[in-house]
Structure 1
Amino acid sequence: MSDRITDIHAIRDVVALYCRGIDRLDFDLVRQAYHDDGIDHHTGFDGTVGGYVSWVSKSLEYLAGTMHFIGNHHVDFVDQDTAISETYVMATHWGPPGSGRRANFTTGARYVDLMERRAGRWAIAERWAVREWTRPDVFVAPEQPGPRGTRDAADPLPVLMKRFGL
């Protein structure tokens, strides 16, 4: 049983790695979430992981930010090295000041992933990003001064990780 718990945790980490990569524009992390021959089916894209990374990086460059929240997560094991993972996600997207509805929205989705363990590493073999709903949003400036996220090396996370050599 403990091996299954370890596998479930490793599979959930793949999903979290993907979300971190998208939100921080770290496309090496996004690529790591997939096997090299991985396939992605997204709204507006259907193809290989290489094509997906190229497409999503261009899709996100006009946005000021994204934030993905992982909710319910369930794993069904097909065999020792194959699993089907379903993860509920809410993803908020926002554009620069003055951008319209196309850049400012929250969407509810499910990541339905065929996960495979190859050479001891769990990763996405095929993903279906199933969009369930989308809601336009209106964003306002933060109410007080304080730390703000960035999508580069100045963000608090890479600053702290660098401090400890991570």
Structure 2
Amino acid sequence: MGRYARAIDRGQFALLRTVFHADGYDDHGPYKGGVDGFIQWLQERFTDEAPMQHFLGNSLIEFANPDLALAETYYVAARPPKGGEVRQGGQGSGLYVLSWGRYVDRFERRDSEWRVAYRRTVVDLRLQAVVNVLPGSDASNWGRRDAQDPLSIARAEIFGRD
């Protein structure tokens, strides 16, 4: 689940592939289909570098057998305005999208690896809110969706790769 949040929030679509089995299916509401199509749909929707944030909450995992599990994981997701005018330490106002919901996942273990075989995103509440963004700390501390994100820099320093 943590890999999913990081992949979506940082725009790391190769990492997103490791969340699902190759034949995995995602029902995200407006998008329903395989992993390749899901990634393409995300890339078309989120074209700028403004980071999103998914906060994962309670997770209940129920095992049907040693290779099959059902998981329900709560999330809160925030997406900043498009265009970048109120990010990277800037000021201003813009329309934020806030969502609360759950991921209902069928996890399967194949070749000793657990991945999502089927995901349904359940939206419990979704809001759009005009917010005034306060000036932030030094811009180098702001999250990004590229190799200059502080986590990507730290991973490169420690592991020699992102």
- TM bracket, shorter-chain basis: 0.7 to 0.9
1:149 is paired with a residue whose SS is coil
Aligned residue in 2 for 1:46: 32
CA distance in 2, matches of 1:30, 1:109: 19
Aligned residue in 1 for 2:89: none
CA distance in 1, matches of 2:101, 2:149: 26
Residue 139 (structure 1) shift: 4.3
Pair 1:125-2:113 in alignment: no
Distance change in 2, residues 1:139/1:49 (3 Å): farther
Question: Of 150, 157, 161, which aligns to 1:163?
Answer: 157
Pair 1:145-2:138 in alignment: yes
Aligned residue in 1 for 2:64: 78
Aligned residue in 1 for 2:13: 27
CA distance in 1, matches of 2:58, 2:123: 15
List gaps (5 residues or longer) in structure 2.
87-92
1:150 is paired with a residue whose SS is coil
CA distance in 1, matches of 2:138, 2:29: 36
| Greater percentage in strand | 2
CA distance in 1, matches of 2:18, 2:132: 32
- Paired amino acid for 2:119: R
Deviations along 1:107-143, one digit per CA (max 9) or x if unpaired, are 0010000000100110000000011111223140434
Query: What is the TM-score with the length of structure 1 in the denominator?
Result: 0.84
Does the aligned pair in 1 maintain the 2:94–2:132 contact within 8 Å? Answer: no
Equivalent pairs, count? 150
Aligned residue in 1 for 2:107: 115
Does the aligned pair in 2 maintain the 1:90–1:107 contact within 8 Å? Answer: yes
RMSD: 1.7
Distance change in 2, residues 1:48/1:21 (3 Å): same
CA distance in 1, matches of 2:73, 2:46: 22
CA distance in 2, matches of 1:94, 1:16: 20
Distance change in 2, residues 1:164/1:125 (3 Å): same
| Greater percentage in helix | 1
Residue 85 (structure 1) shift: 0.5
Identity of aligned residues (%): 35
Query: What is the TM-score with the length of structure 2 in the denominator?
Result: 0.86
Deviations along 1:88-121, one digit per CA (max 9) or x if unpaired, are 00000002327864xx211001000000010011
1:152 is paired with a residue whose SS is coil
1:116 is paired with a residue whose SS is strand
Aligned residue in 2 for 1:6: none
